[in-house]
Structure 1
Amino acid sequence: MNVFQPSLTESVALPTLSEQERQSLVVDYNATEAPYPSDKTIIDLFHEQAERVPDSEAIRFETSSLSYKHLNALSNRMAAHLRSLGVGPGQIVVVFMEHSIEVVVAILGIMKSGAAYVPVDAATPKGRLTTILTDIASGAGGALPVVIAHERLRSAVSREHANVVVLDAGFEAISSQPETDVPSAAVPDGLAYIIYTSGSTGTPKGVMIEHRSLVNYIWWSARVYASGESLSWPLFSSLAFDLTVTTLFTPLITGGRIVVYRGDPGLESMVVLKVIDDNAVDIMKLTPSHLAIIRDRDLRHTRLRKFIVGGEEFKTEIARDITKAIAHPIEIYNEYGPTEATVGCMIHRFDIHRDQSPSVPIGIPAANSGIYVLDERYRPVPPGIIGEMFIAGDGLARGYFNRPDLTDERFLTIADPRDPASKLRVYKTGDLARWNSEGRMDFLGRADHQVKVGGTRVELGEIEARLLKHPDIHECAVAAVTVLAKPHRTEVRYCERCGLESNMPGTTFDEAGICNLCRAFDTYVDKAQTYFKTPEDLEALIAEMQANRKGPYDCIVLLSGGKDSSFMLCKLAAMGVKPLVFTLDNGFISEEAKTNIRRLVNTLGVDLHWGSTPHMNEIFVDSLKRFANVCNGCFKTIYTLATNLARERGIQYIVTGLSRGQFFETRLTEEVFKRDDYDPARLDALVIEARKEYHRREDAVSRYLDVDVFRSDSLFEEVKFIDFYRYWSVPLEDMLQFLKTQVGWNRPSDTGRSTNCLINDVGIYIHKKQRGYHNYALPYSWDVRLGQKTRDEAIDELNDELDVHRIQDVMAQIGYIEPAAAENGIARLAAYYVSSKNVDVAELRAHLAEELPEAMIPTHFIRLERMPLTTNGKIDRAALPEPTTDNIQSAHNFIAPSTETEKTLAALWCDLLKVDSIGRNDNFFELGGHSLLVMRAVSRLRDIFGVDVQLRNLFERPTVAGLAEVIDGMLWMAEANTASQSQGPREEIEL
């Protein structure tokens, strides 16, 4: 990918797809034709298996089980019963049941009758269930659908919206029906099932899957995952989640066993732990969130040999941890696919040695699937360019039930990318992807108004539509956000020695006003000084550069136009270095800074190369989200572009102008120097390893720029980075005097004092606002400690005034939106609304819960006087205020924790949930707690209090006060038992 600007006048030309790339990435990649029984239905395949192994166990739940023969017979009875009610081909039956043997009987019976089943989770709110039933009736010309339910769930189904069939464990409802086989009414092009997913218009949308598509997927799944074995599979995930389709049907066509698990009330998300502890299955399909929950379990003796992972982005770290935790060889598959493509259409088997990227690849197309990365004109994109994923093949859904408009919008007929003279039906996924140089596809997330919360795909528009049904709400918007702790409003002090601000986290001062970093530095300053070298060492390194030079340049010098890099360039030129100067034009370099750059290179007679990328705004936004500054993204862009340029030009060295203070901010820590085996050479190796991880981390730079070169360790030997200020020390005053007199360099007047870049003030502003301190405070304090600045100079630069109006203009220009989650934060939904009066949070949650599942109910509610609008009158999401403790609407009056147990609990929750303060009536889950945090919380509680706190305790008593009462009771019992044991047996007293 050509991301460099060759000169000041030439424009960037994006590459086109070569014929070789078209053949490899479009034609060969999608050569997935494979035979499967397309003339049969899933019922035909199950029936064949039942005839082969009639006495083998097909399904088990606790102490009950059914053989293939009995499961087939019961499903025959279910089909006969449905036919007696008038159910047949082309009709739809809703399955509203808990995990059980009878739910599998119901599904098979529905399909045998020729109808399609609609799975609805047993925890679905009544309002949402009614919406689905109404939609089905509308699509069926007003005829009420049949609902099969357990007796316990019958009351949730209104008789006005459905005809209910109760099917409980005794199977009394179908006991009078014949169990003999009759020809199945299902046909290959008939509907097998409809799964309702979240809808952007506010209404759930039903995805229609035909038998032929289901057979194609399950036949492939059986070959890849079962490989001829009869495996035990756990049925534990939601029936309404198409991930469960794999677990339902793959074992039934391979002679395997379904082992049913049911979650405890209120603890359904933790049922995965039952599967692990039961140790009765061989293979498991689950989400990355499930894997993250179980990786802390003792897996050394697990029976599990295979994991199929899907539903959300799969982090390599989790896959690596699971692989290492299990003693025997295991297989981990990453399966990608939207519901609209029948469960899964791509697969990658995790390789612990090869897969080094932050995320596990999504791999290659499944059998009879086509995967294309296309631009807005539906043309294949070349490697390195981001496009949208389109899916083709036998797995495509028929469309959306009762939604022809949406079907036409998402299921398109386009020119076949393999042969433009032909036509191809494709599904427009809304997912972004990019080809890397290895011919592997990188998944880059959603392009639309969809977010993932706890592994669940959520359409924000559906939540907004439900909110607007509240009589007091006039406008609203829902966003995935990170809640930021309210900074402490205390008077800022400065260290008497280095000028470090007191609001820097972890900072303390002694009686003399000296900060803890200065006091610590005094203990290892001698070792730290050994890291730095001399100008003579630099001269030897320059001689090495010149001896290894293969072209006109000794090295690339990174020039920002600021004082540090400008001084560096002057000194290198004076030492005889012939550099190629690299400057990033990020779109916000001030004109005065550009004048400095041009004057400097002209004076020195060196060549200047301006690098650029059209994606700089996206990189800035990503950096603000991750780090609350723009520098991290800008630096990584510079290093990435410069490294690619170095390899392109055959240059082996890149010289940076990082200050000594920045070394200590980013690389050198106190622990390194306090080691007994401290060795500067060893530190160099650690810096290289850190650089590898830095460049391999997934972020906007890796999404938009060519970063494939960094995946090879050899690069870090081929191109070496040299830090000029490791060899050269100069006080700030001397540096500025030299630049002014020697090259006419002037500090730009149109930017802040800390920078030559107009956007950097945005980073300073956001960092101070979100994190409570200046992002240059730490490196500047190190500059003072190391003699590069005086204390007053550092404080003077930190207190530079910010033009807030201009900063807001720049943020709007780049499209800055608060992040869905910080790197170590928690993704939460926040609802913004305008109302005629203040609406109680409990009332809003209850209103939403009538139709929405728990995962779609916002954690935070923020009332606004008016919604911010764009110039065309739409809600300006970028201008929605960040959620803070000041504007989040409280669910109740704040009452501070009172007992020691409550205070300890509140402190722990503040740490886990990343909030500033928690009251005794605050609810763990309403504040953003989820399954992973529950596990961490319980583990920490056991360590802190020394009592056996259970998951159930937190779910049943989720407030600080409630859980503290439980813990105090446990502590009292423990003390009573200890006292009883110490006193020995009591005498029996007769009354």
Structure 2
Amino acid sequence: MTVPTLLERFAGQVAARPESVALRHAGTSLTYGELDGWSGRLAAQLVAKGVGPDSLVALAARRGPAAIAGVLAVLKTGAAYLGLDPATPVRRQRRMVEETGPDCLLAEPGLDQFPTLDAARVTLAPASSGPLHQAPGRVPGEDGDGDALFHIVYTSGTTGNPKGVRIGTRSVRGRLEWMWRDHPFPPDAVLAVQKSPALVASPWEMLGGLLMGVPSVVLTDDEVLDPELFAAVVAKERITHLFLTPHLLDGLLSQSAKFADEHQPVLVTTGADTLPVAMARRFHAVWPRATLLNLYGMTETASNVAAYDTSSLPADAERVPVGTPVAGALLSVRDRHGRRLPPGVTGEVWVAGPPVALGYVGGDDEDAFRTDDRGVRHYRTGDRGRLLPDGALELTGRTDHQVKIRGYRVELEEIESVLRKAPDVTDAGAYVDTDGDEPRLVACVVYDDQPGGDTLRAYLRDRLPDYMLPARIQKVARLPLGANGKLDRAALRTLVTETGQERAVRFAPADADEAAVAALWEELLGTAPGTADENFFDAGGHSLLAVRLANRLSATAGRRIPLRRILAAPTVTGVATLLRTARQGEEA
């Protein structure tokens, strides 16, 4: 029996339930028939511009129904897509576009930021009239050898630039079919969509429920960032299936008392970062009937290649395993010569099988993708791990300097490379400070002439995504080197600790509200504000820390202070004004 393709599954749902809700977002809904018409008209416009099999479409879209309509439209033409997240610095997006050379740009209004791109344009907006493209049920490559490209995803690279990973259609389809087969949706299931279409894990959220007749709720930016709003939408929409990073899971658990009796999730999967044992146990204490899977994977393996049901976690566990292979993956642990190691021995994790990506854009695959003496192609993950007696894989660290920040992969070498290109910076080093509640990036720079801290941060913000921005930038006279002439990161950490952070001016609060804000500022960022108009984000803050700031301020004021208000006025003075207004019982 032939397994239906992705397009055939969607067409089947459209035929069976044209008036049923496919997507919900911010109080609006879209039926299967409406989504099919929208994506079909977009596909017709793309085809009219010459898009077809072997084409690449740059998809510039925010998280929302338009992004999903755009992905479906691209699939209907037989093309592949490059997801472009508007939260990514424009310079970085332009590099991706320049490197991949898309044939067409499908962009939401206001997101075409590529004036030099010589490619056709189609506007990603609702289309209620116009010709419909009759997509073939089976597109080239989906039933073949897996060489057809599905999408390109960019991730942090050790060379100083992000690197694009070419992911095949068969890999994506295998990931979807594994979940459908091993964890089928129960009646009344509802799936949450909270990932950017530029991320490797996004196809599961965008298509996983949609192609099985399960309504999908596309979260807004505020709902993703704010745990209180996140929990509220999970309860209101009765969402049963979520794919979360440990950070998002922690935020959801912090709000669980508000809806645990009313509604419980059915399946929660977590990945992209280490799942603490305590968090897994807390999850099962709060939602004893729910399943929590700890997933393992990376961009080069089309998201996930292993899964572990945390209900099996031993009482004496020190780590949560990442589990056993899924989606046809083959996992092995090897020494530095590529020889297999027996269970219990730590080595580098290698992955083979259908999930492995087609390679990097530009073909620089030699170090990461290896073909063994049996002719089997593997991806060397750089993760250190060991196989447990029950066959589950446990991770123990890294073989390189890659780290995870808020669920995102970060190569420290890329941050260092960008810093070295900044005006007046002659050298730079970076490490991760793990002493606090969450990992924090620390950058050390050697200057010829020291520019202002705000100037350097502005330079970085224009080139690096939010999660790669250092929480702290420290000037040092020179970088410590090891015997091999390379940066000694352990010594760098010691140097920064001894040097401390210097401030020419210490902020003097004007009143109790500014003092309260300054105290929280120092608690969250590790240093007090220097001036009343210092920007929280220029001082090393990021979206998750802003959420914590909003929650602490709300507790202090006894009244909710919306995150969006803080984002609109992220200075000491601005935040203190919000606190003062909330104390007085007015709307913040």
The answer to whether TM tops 0.5 is yes
Determine the structure 2 residue equivalent to 1:178. Answer: 132
Structure 2: distance between partners of 1:191 and 1:350: 34
Match of 1:472 among 414, 424, 442: 424
Q: Which deviations, in whole Å up to 9, do the C-alpha atoms of 1:252-275 show, x marking residues without a partner?
A: 332212222221499589874453
The alignment status of 1:888 with 2:501, answered yes or no, reads yes
The structure 1 residue matched to 2:321, chosen from 349, 352, 361, is 361
Q: How does 1:78-477 map to 2 (within 5 A)?
A: 78-137=42-101, 145-154=103-112, 156-160=113-117, 162-168=119-125, 170-171=126-127, 175-182=129-136, 185-188=139-142, 189=146, 190-227=148-185, 229=187, 231-264=189-222, 272-273=230-231, 275-297=233-255, 298-300=258-260, 301-326=262-287, 329-351=289-311, 354=314, 356-402=316-362, 404-405=363-364, 407-415=365-373, 422-477=374-429
Contact 2:330 2:353 in 1 (8 A): yes
1:191 positional shift: 0.7
Give the deviation of 1:931 after TM superposition: 5.5
Q: Per-residue CA shift, 1:635-684, capped at 9, x if unaligned?
A: xxxxxxxxxxxxxxxxxxxxxxxxxxxxxxxxxxxxxxxxxxxxxxxxxx
Whether contact under 8 Å (2:327, 2:355) holds in the other structure is no
What residue identity is the alignment partner of 2:346? I
TM alignment of 1:543-942, pairs within 5 A: 821-822=434-435, 824-880=436-492, 881-884=494-497, 887-888=500-501, 893-915=505-527, 920-929=532-541, 933-942=545-554
Residue-by-residue CA offset, 1:917-961 (whole Å, 9 max, x unaligned): 876445444555455554554444344344443333433333333
Change (3 A) 1:453 1:112: same
Tell me if the contact between 1:98 and 1:262 (Cα under 8 Å) persists in the aligned partners: no
Q: Which amino acid aligns with 1:341?
A: T
Between 340-349 and 62-71, the greater mean CA deviation after superposition = 62-71
- State which drifts further: 280-289 or 905-914: 905-914
Greater C-alpha Rg: 1
3-state SS of paired residue (2:92) = helix
Residue 351 of structure 1 deviates from its aligned partner by 0.7
* Residue pair 2:8, 2:137 contacting (<8 A) in 1 also: no
- Once the 2 structures are TM-superposed, how far is the Cα of residue 305 of structure 1 from its aligned partner? 1.7
Cα distance change on mapping 1:275 and 1:198 into 2, 3 Å: farther
Question: Hey, what's the Cα distance between the residues in 2 that align with 1:119 and 1:436?
Answer: 37
In structure 1, what is the Cα distance between the partners aligned to 2:520 and 2:33? Answer: 54
Considering Cα pairs closer than 8 Å and 6+ residues apart, tell me whether 1 or 2 has the greater RCO.
1
Q: Please give the alpha-carbon distance, in whole angstroms, between the structure 1 residues aligned to 2:558 and 2:137.
A: 63
Aligned to 1:748: none
Q: 1:353 to 1:299 in 2, by over 3 A?
A: farther
What is the letter of the counterpart of residue 567 of structure 2? F
User: CA offset at residue 374 of structure 1?
Assistant: 1.0
Question: Structure 1 residues 77, 937: CA separation in 2 closer, same or farther (over 3 Å shift)?
Answer: closer
Distance in 1 separating the partners of 2:227 and 2:54: 34
1:63-82 map, 5 Å = 63-82=27-46
State the shift of 1:62 in Å.
3.3
> Any idea what SS the aligned residue of 1:148 has?
strand
Alignment of 1:483-562 (within 5 A): none
Cα 1:149–1:889 shift into 2, 3 Å: farther
Question: Aligned with 2:221: secondary structure?
Answer: coil
Conserved? CA contact 2:264–2:290, under 8 Å: no
Q: 1:279 to 1:68 in 2, by over 3 A?
A: closer
Point out where structure 1 has 5 or more consecutive residues left out of the alignment: 1-34, 138-143, 416-421, 482-820, 977-991
User: Partners of 1:56 and 1:951 in 2: how far apart?
Assistant: 34
CA distance in 1, matches of 2:223, 2:14: 34
Q: Is the 8 A contact 2:284 2:311 kept in 1?
A: no
Question: How far did residue 872 of structure 1 move?
Answer: 4.0
**Aligned CA distance change for structure 1 residues 435 and 54 (closer, same or farther; 3 Å):** same
The secondary structure found in structure 1 opposite 2:183 is helix
Change (3 A) 1:940 1:133: closer
The amino acid of 2:573's aligned partner reads A
- Secondary structure (helix, strand or coil) at the match of 1:351 reads helix
Contact 1:345–1:365 (8 Å) recurs in 2: yes
Question: Which secondary structure state, in structure 1, belongs to the residue aligned with residue 259 of structure 2?
Answer: coil
Per the alignment, in what secondary structure is the counterpart of residue 152 of structure 1? Answer: coil
Q: CA deviation at 1:92?
A: 0.9
Measured in 2, the distance between the counterparts of 1:910 and 1:285 equals 32
The number of equivalent residue pairs is 579
Decide whether the 8 Å contact of 1:475 with 1:833 is kept in 2: yes
Q: Percent of aligned positions with the same letter in both sequences?
A: 30
Aligned partner of residue 477 in structure 2, secondary structure: coil
- Amino acid paired to 1:240: A
Q: Which amino acid is 1:472 matched to?
A: D
- For 2:13 and 2:418, how far apart are their aligned partners in 1? 46
- Cα gap change, 1:946 to 1:464, in 2 (>3 Å): same
SS at match of 1:861: strand
Matched letter for residue 262 of structure 1: T
Q: Deviations over 1:674-721 (max 9, x none)?
A: xxxxxxxxxxxxxxxxxxxxxxxxxxxxxxxxxxxxxxxxxxxxxxxx
The structural deviation recorded for 1:286 is: 1.0
Bigger drift between 73-82 and 907-916 goes to 907-916
Q: Which deviates more, 893-902 or 186-195?
A: 893-902
Q: 1:250 to 1:969 in 2, by over 3 A?
A: closer
Aligned-pair CA distance for 1:885: 9.1
* Per-residue deviation, 1:128: 0.6
Q: Is the 8 A contact 2:313 2:320 kept in 1?
A: no
Task: Kindly indicate whether the alpha-carbon contact (under 8 Å) linking 1:99 and 1:262 is maintained by their aligned counterparts in 2.
Answer: yes
